[in-house]
Structure 1
Amino acid sequence: INDAYNANPLSMRASLRTFARLPGGHHRWAVVGGMRELGAIADEEHLALGEFIDHLDLDGVVAVGELGRQIVCRNTKHFYHCADPAEAASILKDQLSAGDRVLLKASRGERLELVLKHFTEN
């Protein structure tokens, strides 16, 4: 599910919560990136998002980019931070099996749609 065109604290939580509750499929992985234009509350909101994600039923999380570095998940089964979408795609290639689901969620400027592009190439 590519929802990487707009992100703020409320939309991130809503998308992640809905995704975690989807029936069927095998494993659920979220690839998350930064929420841009939050100003002075950016650090606080990214840290809070990591805590929120820890309470969801997700099998793995990949946080991408500099803002993604602040999204720290301590209780998620598999948590990775990577520098860019190409590295995120590589992690997913190593972790996913047929039937698994992936959510891409970040502000448009984070360019997470490139995760899908790199995942399907090579």
Structure 2
Amino acid sequence: MLQIATGDPRPIARQIVDGVRRLIASGSLPVGAMLPSVRGLAQQLTVNPNTIAKAYAELTAEGWLDARAGLGLFVAPPRQRLSDEERGRRLDDAVQRFVGDVVGLGYTKAQLVRRVSDELDQCQPRKTA
């Protein structure tokens, strides 16, 4: 389901949050799908259960997941998770970080746009027959 990259500069909890978001956005985790338990996912990924709990709490607070008492965590139906102002702020922050990270790598603007576009295409819901 998820993979943790030891060489990734992002904290493990951030990798989990980002990974679950991608799986939901791509349709790999459809609405209503049950996620592994905190302990189960911690064992699969060989990470501390507190790290998983932190990631799940963030995803739940943002509206990506629904917690059902005694049943577990499930993918929530799509809805506006953040205000327009907050969405804009986060986009600005992400773009600034991205540009700061890649500006010195020597790629052309067209190469960067193509790479970002390809990555976003992978997050689009997959059509099923």
- Pair in the same fold by TM > 0.5: no
The structure showing larger relative contact order (alpha-carbon pairs under 8 Å, at least 6 residues apart) is: 1
- The structure carrying a bigger strand percent of its residues is 1
TM-score by length of 1: 0.32
- The structure carrying a bigger helix percent of its residues is 2
TM-score by length of 2: 0.31
